[in-house]
Chain A
Amino acid sequence: DGGITQSPKYLFRKEGQNVTLSCEQNLNHDAMYWYRQDPGQGLRLIYYSQIVNDFQKGDIAEGYSVSREKKESFPLTVTSAQKNPTAFYLCASSPSLAGSYEQYFGPGTRLTVT
C-alpha cells in the first residue's frame, strides 16, 4: 500500500519536554509538509521540505524543528520553547511544488501537553 503514515495517533507529554512526531511516506514524493490544526481552525504551515537535506520555515516555525535526512521521512520535534503545543499535527507530501499538485495527508497526531 502506498501512503503516508504518522505515529503515534495520540501523544501525551508533560510541559517542558521535547517530543518528536513521526512522518513516513512511500509515495516517492520529493516535497513534505507539516501543518498544525487547532479546533475549528484551518491548517497553518509549520515547515516544509522540497528535497532531502533541505527545509524551509512556514508561518509558525517558532518552537519547532525538523530534519529531512531521508526522502521518505520528515520528523517534527515540538520543543519546550513552543508556548502552546497542544494541537492536531498533520503531515503531507506531494510529488513536487504544492500549488500544482495535490497534497497527500497522513492521519494526524493529536498532541496533548499538560
Chain B
Amino acid sequence: SQQGEEDPQALSIQEGENATMNCSYKTSINNLQWYRQNSGRGLVHLILIRSNEREKHSGRLRVTLDTSKKSSSLLITASRAADTASYFCATDALFFNNNDMRFGAGTRLTVKP
C-alpha cells in the first residue's frame, strides 16, 4: 500500500523555471525523503526531512514539511534539462516498523531546453 501520493503526476516546464511537486500522506510519520529516478535507472536520494523540521535546503532544492496537513513539497529552482526525471517521496509511519518505507507513484518532470 502506498503512503505518499505525489501531485501532479506529470509536470512540464521550460528550462529556467521553478518546479514544485507535492506529496501527501495519510498517517503520522517519523521522516520523509525525496528521491529522483532517471528513466530506467535506480533511485537517488535527494533530501531527508524529519517530522520536527519544517524546511530543508540542498543546492537548488528546497523541501518543506507541514505535519498538520500531512504534506510536503519539493521545489527545484532554476530548472535545467538535466533535472528531467521522476521524483518520489517516501515516508515511514510513526509507530510502525521503521523498515516499512512507503513510496508514492511519483511526479514525472520534463524540463524543456
Contact = CB atoms under 8 A, between A and B. Distances in A.
Contacts of B29: 99
A97 B45 contact: no
Nearest to B1: A59
B43 to A, nearest CB: 4
A42 interface: yes
Contact of B98 (A59, A98, A102, A104): A98
A48 B70 CA distance: 26
Nearest to A108: B42
A59 B103 CA distance: 12
Contacts of B90: 103
A18 B106 CA distance: 30
A19 interface: no
Contact of A97 (B1, B35, B98, B104): B98
Contact of B45 (A40, A42, A44, A104): A104
- Chain B interface mostly: strand
Contact of A110 (B4, B35, B40, B48): B40
Size category, B interface: 20 to 34
Contacts, number: 70
Contacts of A104: 45
Interface in B84-109: 88, 90-92, 97-101, 103-106
Nearest to B50: A100
B41 interface: yes
A98 B31 CA distance: 10
Nearest to A91: B42
B30 interface: yes
Given A44-B103, A97-B99, A98-B99, 6 more contacts: A41-B105, A43-B43, A43-B88, A100-B98, A102-B45, A110-B40
Interface of B: 1-2, 4, 29-31, 33, 35, 40-45, 48, 88, 90-92, 97-101, 103-106
Interface of A: 31, 33, 35, 40-45, 48, 50, 56, 59, 88, 90, 92, 97-108, 110
